A and B are shown apart, each in its own frame.
Chain A
Amino acid sequence: NAGVTQTPKFQVLKTGQSMTLQCAQDMNHNSMYWYRQDPGMGLRLIYYSASEGTTDKGEVPNGYNVSRLNKREFSLRLESAAPSQTSVYFCASSEYNNEQFFGPGTRLTVL
């Protein structure tokens, strides 16, 4: 099992460009999450999907959109990237109120 996979691993964007971060899990989990982690800081929840077909805002949703494509896949889209969105993005999945498994992360730099 691959667990949680994310693509790309690294990305550099210019201000105003758009991109989509992809996440997939093969553990048949119902819940999926997107976090951002800034240097020296904790994990802040951007969006989550409690189950297939539902998505909801987390702590820092501004500037992002998500799509729960199916049970396996949960994507995060930046429509118009800003330097403040420079961060490491982690996707995670869980079976409801249990351990969250994290992907390897995407390092995004917005110039």
Chain B
Amino acid sequence: GENVEQHPSTLSVQEGDSAVIKCTYSDSASNYFPWYKQELGKRPQLIIDIRSNVGEKKDQRIAVTLNKTAKHFSLHITETQPEDSAVYFCAASPPYWGKFQFGAGTQVVVTP
């Protein structure tokens, strides 16, 4: 089955700096890679996703890059703000149906 590793487990950044979270996956058949943000006490919510036929996707301050050959994908947050503080999860999903394998999560703390 799919195995997803996520690094780092915690990330502390100064407001305005960039944050990068990296994930690797094992199943070359995986073709959908979402990123979820979970604020304290809330449900996970999708912030950006990418499919395997695309190398990069951007949405305002958030971007995701995918390297299929190396089987890794990354989340980039630019100009971080205190409201970016949360736990971020990556996931990988094969094409046949929607079973995700989630990474262990990254706690991001943005200090003013």
Task: Please list the residues of chain A having a beta carbon within 8 angstroms of any beta carbon in chain B.
Answer: 31, 33, 41-43, 45, 48, 50, 58, 90, 94-100, 102-105
Contacts and interface: CB of A to CB of B under 8 A. Distances in A.
A69 to B, nearest CB: 19
A19 B16 CA distance: 47
Interface stretch (B40-48, B67-75, B77-85): B40-48
A97 B34 CA distance: 11
Nearest to A45: B99
Interface residues of B, number: 22
26 contacts: A31-B97, A33-B99, A41-B104, A41-B105, A42-B89, A42-B102, A42-B104, A42-B105, A43-B44, A43-B102, A45-B99, A45-B100, A48-B99, A50-B98, A58-B99, A90-B43, A95-B98, A96-B97, A97-B98, A98-B98, A99-B46, A99-B49, A100-B34, A100-B98, A102-B44, A105-B43
A87 B34 CA distance: 24
A50 B104 contact: no
Contacts of B100: 45, 100
A77 B93 CA distance: 26
B102 A94 contact: no
B104 to A, nearest CB: 4
A86 to B, nearest CB: 16
Given A41-B104, A42-B104, A42-B105, A94 B98 contact: yes
Contacts of A104: 42-43
